[in-house]
Amino acid sequence: MVNQPRGPDGRWIKYKYGVGAAALGVAVAAGSGLGGGTAASLDSAASQALKGKTSGKKSAQKGRQSEAWQRLGWRQLKKTAKRELKCGPHSFGEVQRFFLRHPCVDLDRMFVTVDDGSGNKIAVSVAWVKMPKASETADLKRLVDKDGTGNVALLGEGQHGERFTGEDYDSRLDRKLVVIAESARVAGRPSEATLETAVEIAVEFPAP
């Protein structure tokens, strides 16, 4: 993992999706210090997930969440969801100030834990933010994608010791909707490729 800085408000500063992949490449090139058996196990899990990513995204887009994870060779363990009518109280940083000027219409949040079949458990949190106007939605996405601007408070953070640092992050724009997804390690040693695959799938889920 790369060292993760904090913003002025003490929250973790998020990285746009893709930084982790670069870090992974450096680790692999350096041998990453893992034993041969462990490295092979991580490689196997990551390879299987990559093979099922395309079909997993298609299942995710249809709202078939359990099936989407199964396409990767993973298993969904736990899922919780919550709906809010206001985004301001459930956000922080510049993003919160944005919501004070431009209130959202609806906020849906979901938290799931998945098992990648190789002894690793991953937490995935998704937020669907609906805005009154498409122009406001585009402005919001630009803001949340920028480092150090804050975010929507993700559901499930800290439940099992996981931290959504923003290192494994992705977002999607769909007319008046912004979808935000992050992943984090719960147990084991999931690779950066595995964590990034998790957000690539999760960000495709349609709003509840």
Contact 72, 48 (CB under 8 A): yes
What are the angstrom distances between the C-alpha of 174 and each of 31, 51, 144, 145, 183? 40, 26, 15, 15, 21
Higher-scoring residue by pLDDT: 33, 172? 172
pTM beyond 0.95: the answer is: no
Q: What is the mean predicted confidence (pLDDT) over 88-115?
A: 96
Residue 110's DSSP bridge partners are 81, 126
C-alpha 195/C-alpha 56 separation (Å) is: 15
3-state secondary structure of 39: helix
Tell me the domain boundaries of the chain.
19-202
Instruction: Give 169's pLDDT tier (boundaries 50, 70, 90).
Output: very high
